[in-house]
């Protein structure tokens, strides 16, 4: 089977001016640095890492919301990296995004019907009875009453607003959806409902997801495979079961130990103390030499400070970048 979406050495670097008034210097911020990724049709790839590790930037790169500064992106076997905005229009229908912030992502002055219908109109449809019927059907699919269409975003709870955002993302019948921390801003009790809804919609419409989260507990239920990102690099990727049961990278091990004990996925296996990952995430402007995790790694060795570990595949389908396994 061929991937639906593939990233080959994809990078996003920003040139930034740093330093004081007299000693300004141009630095390169490597938000995403030569990432290889293949997302298979129908799967959910969980993408996990702490805030600022580049995962949201990677999600936006994959659907060309922002341009890459290096590498190639293939969607359905076609290289979309250099397509013009006009050429991207037809591709865009097939790839959509659900944003993190259900409060900020919806235009407060538009009715729910107009919010959901807008992508259709942008792609040339008319605001006619058929479009309105499509919106009404979608409201039902995401679990909102038909009367919601005449109301405004502020009249809804966070979870309901996220349902509106999901309906908007689905109105063009995409094949690939980036779910960018879709439950991070929601109460824990509502998170599971939205994750379950996304799982149901995947089954119903044959969707493929990139599901971004900073918490391994959130993606556990929905993911087929999980990729772990640290300072702009993928450091480990594996089938869900292999990654949770036998994580190979010390950063993944630390993320698993940091899953909140209150998370629903933990309750069933008894309570476990949450452990903080030692130290702060370094600046992407000044990433550590060698292995980028070496300043926080409990297993650091001299080679880790000098040489970046290559990605290896110690078990079929389980890839990791660490000198312990290299």
Residues within the interface to ligand SF4 (CB under 6 A)? 249-250, 291, 293-294, 297, 299-301, 304, 309, 322-324
User: What residue spans of the chain are helical by DSSP H?
Assistant: 55-62, 85-92, 112-122, 129-141, 158-170, 188-205, 216-220, 240-245, 250-257, 264-267, 302-306
Q: How far is the CB of 248 from ligand SF4 (least distance, A)?
A: 9
Pick between residue 37 and residue 297 the one whose CB is nearest to ligand SF4.
297
Q: How far is the CB of 10 from ligand SF4 (least distance, A)?
A: 22
Write the DSSP assignment of 240-308 as a string of letters: HHHHHHS--SHHHHHHHHTS-TTSHHHHTT------PPSSPPPPTTSPPSSSTTTTT-TT--HHHHH-P
Pick between residue 49 and residue 250 the one whose CB is nearest to ligand SF4.
250
215: left (phi over 0), alpha (psi -120 to 50) or beta: beta
Contact yes or no for 91/85 (Cβ under 8 A): no
- The dihedral through the CA atoms of 58, 63, 69, 73 has a sign that is positive
Pick between residue 159 and residue 250 the one whose CB is nearest to ligand SF4.
250
Q: How far is the CB of 294 from ligand SF4 (least distance, A)?
A: 4
Pick between residue 259 and residue 304 the one whose CB is nearest to ligand SF4.
304
φ/ψ of 207, rounded to 5, equals: -80, 155
Q: How far is the CB of 307 from ligand SF4 (least distance, A)?
A: 8
Q: How far is the CB of 162 from ligand SF4 (least distance, A)?
A: 35
List the strands of the sheet with 233-239, edge to edge: 95-98, 176-180, 208-213, 44-48, 225-230, 233-239, 318-320, 312-315
φ/ψ of 62, rounded to 5, equals: -65, -30
Cross-strand bridge partners of residue 284 = none
Pick between residue 72 and residue 295 the one whose CB is nearest to ligand SF4.
295
Pick between residue 54 and residue 250 the one whose CB is nearest to ligand SF4.
250
Q: How far is the CB of 322 from ligand SF4 (least distance, A)?
A: 3
Pick between residue 157 and residue 283 the one whose CB is nearest to ligand SF4.
283
Q: How far is the CB of 323 from ligand SF4 (least distance, A)?
A: 4
CA-based nearest residue to 149, from 118, 193, 194: 118
Pick between residue 106 and residue 320 the one whose CB is nearest to ligand SF4.
320
Q: How far is the CB of 324 from ligand SF4 (least distance, A)?
A: 5
Contact yes or no for 240/217 (Cβ under 8 A): no
Q: How far is the CB of 172 from ligand SF4 (least distance, A)?
A: 41
Parallel, antiparallel, or unpaired for β 318-320 and 44-48? unpaired
Cα–Cα distance between 20 and 2 in angstroms, integer?
50
Pick between residue 116 and residue 291 the one whose CB is nearest to ligand SF4.
291
Cα–Cα distance between 85 and 128 in angstroms, integer?
27
Cα–Cα distance between 44 and 182 in angstroms, integer?
14
């Amino acid at each position: 089977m061929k991937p639906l979406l593939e990233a080959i050495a994809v990078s996003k670097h920003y040139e930034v001016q740093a330093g004081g008034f007299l000693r300004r210097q141009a630095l390169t911020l490597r938000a995403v640095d030569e990432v290889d990724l293949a997302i298979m049709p129908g799967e959910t790839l969980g993408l996990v890492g702490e805030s600022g590790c580049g995962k949201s930037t990677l999600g936006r790169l994959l659907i060309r919301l922002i341009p890459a500064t290096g590498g190639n992106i293939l969607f359905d076997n076609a290289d979309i990296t250099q397509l013009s905005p006009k050429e991207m229009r037809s591709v865009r229908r097939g790839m959509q995004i659900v944003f993190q912030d259900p409060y900020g992502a919806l235009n407060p002055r538009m009715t729910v019907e107009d919010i959901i219908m807008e992508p259709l109109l942008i792609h040339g449809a008319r605001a006619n009875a058929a479009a309105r019927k499509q919106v009404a059907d979608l409201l039902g699919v995401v679990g909102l009453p038909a009367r919601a269409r005449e109301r405004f975003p502020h009249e809804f709870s966070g979870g309901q607003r996220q349902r509106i955002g999901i309906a908007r993302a689905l109105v063009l019948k995409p094949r690939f959806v980036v779910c960018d921390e879709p439950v991070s801003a929601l109460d824990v009790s509502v998170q599971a409902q939205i994750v379950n809804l996304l799982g149901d919609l995947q089954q119903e419409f044959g969707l493929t997801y990139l599901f971004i989260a900073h918490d391994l507990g959130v993606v556990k239920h929905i993911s087929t495979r999980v990729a772990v990102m640290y300072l702009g690099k993928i450091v480990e990727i594996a089938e869900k079961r292999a990654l949770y049961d036998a994580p190979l990278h010390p950063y993944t091990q630390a993320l698993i130990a940091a899953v909140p004990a209150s998370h629903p996925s933990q309750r069933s296996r008894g309570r476990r103390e949450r452990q903080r990952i030692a130290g702060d995430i370094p600046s992407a402007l000044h990433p550590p030499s060698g292995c980028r995790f070496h300043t926080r790694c409990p297993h650091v060795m001299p080679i880790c400070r000098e040489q970046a570990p290559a990605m290896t595949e110690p078990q079929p389908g389980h890839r990791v970048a660490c000198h312990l396994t290299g």
